[in-house]
């Protein structure tokens, strides 16, 4: 009859065990050993689901830095949100300022210049168009201001040349990165990214500062 080791609970097969069971036990042992082995990275992980207390060792430690990072909240690790970045369906991010949640892209497009106010309710959705307003005629626009056309076309337009808009609404480009002249203003248009809340995010904290 098989027994188990004390620390990792590895199975110690007995001579009386069936061959198939022994092979399954050995496969389980290998997986436990792999799970408990050291993980090394050059920076905080941005992929995978992580359990609490999992450690990642710094593969290039230097004086004044840390020997690694430890996860203090079980969840999904993701890169931080970036402005004016091309995102595709299925991409995952966390807010720049941690709110305990992560988000998945459900519509391919480009993020806005301002970080959205991400929802924290389960399954909450948001368009990545923080600060955008409806286009207005003869209005003074500054660089990086964002507008929507009067008729929604699932895109936003960012001011790339400042000035006063025209008296009539321009014909908006529906090509990503396409530009539109509007009086003195030039707009560059992009498809809107849409995010949905997907669950709890991992939170890695550095440990072991090297003096």
- Pairing mode, strands 3-4 and 11-12: antiparallel
Long-range contacts of 166-173 (CB under 8 A, 24+ apart): 166/137, 166/138, 167/137, 167/138, 168/137, 169/135, 169/137
Alpha carbon distance, N-terminus to C-terminus of the chain? 51
For 154: left if phi > 0, alpha if psi spans -120 to 50, otherwise beta; the answer is left
Question: Could you tell me the maximum CA-CA distance found in the chain, to the nearest angstrom?
Answer: 89
Tens-place pLDDT, residues 30-66? 666 556 666 778 899 999 999 999 999 999 889 999 9
DSSP, collapsed to helix, strand or coil, labels residue 45 as coil
Mean pLDDT taken over the chain: 92
Q: Mean pLDDT over residues 148-172, rounded? A: 97
pLDDT at 204: 97
CA–CA separation, 93 and 114 (whole Å): 15
pLDDT at 29: 57
DSSP, collapsed to helix, strand or coil, labels residue 22 as helix
Residues 154 and 172 sit within 8 Å (Cβ to Cβ): no
For residue 158, the number of C-alpha atoms closer than 13 Å in the C-beta half-sphere is: 19
- Pairing mode, strands 163-164 and 155-161: unpaired
Extract the tokens encoding 46: 């941005």
pLDDT at 113 over 70: yes
Residue in the structure block whose two tokens are 């290998």? 30
CA–CA separation, 113 and 149 (whole Å): 17
Extract the tokens encoding 125: 């959705």
pLDDT at 34: 56
CA–CA separation, 136 and 185 (whole Å): 12
Residue in the structure block whose two tokens are 């027994």? 3
Give the range among 3-7, 85-89, 195-199 with minimum mean pLDDT: 3-7
pLDDT at 56: 95
Backbone φ, ψ for residue 26 (5° rounding): -65, -40
């Amino acid at each position: 009859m098989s027994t188990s080791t004390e620390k990792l609970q590895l199975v110690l097969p007995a001579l009386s065990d069936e061959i198939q069971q022994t092979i399954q036990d050995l496969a389980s042992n290998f997986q436990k050993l792999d799970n408990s082995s050291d993980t090394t990275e050059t920076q905080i992980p941005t992929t995978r689901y992580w359990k609490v207390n999992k450690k990642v060792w710094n593969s290039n430690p230097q004086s004044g830095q840390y020997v690694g990072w430890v996860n203090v909240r079980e969840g999904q690790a993701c890169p931080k949100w970036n402005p004016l970045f091309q995102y595709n369906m299925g991409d995952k991010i966390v807010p720049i300022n941690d709110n305990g949640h992560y988000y998945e892209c459900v519509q391919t497009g480009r993020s806005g210049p301002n970080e959205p106010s991400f929802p924290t309710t389960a399954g909450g959705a948001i368009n990545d168009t923080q600060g955008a307003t409806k286009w207005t005629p003869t209005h003074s626009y500054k660089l990086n201001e964002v507008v929507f056309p009067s008729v929604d076309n699932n895109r936003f337009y960012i001011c790339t040349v400042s000035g006063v808009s025209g008296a009539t609404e321009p014909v908006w480009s529906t090509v990503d990165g396409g530009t539109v002249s509007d009086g003195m203003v030039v707009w560059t248009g992009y498809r809107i990214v849409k995010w949905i809340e997907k669950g709890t995010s991992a939170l890695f904290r550095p440990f072991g500062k090297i003096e």
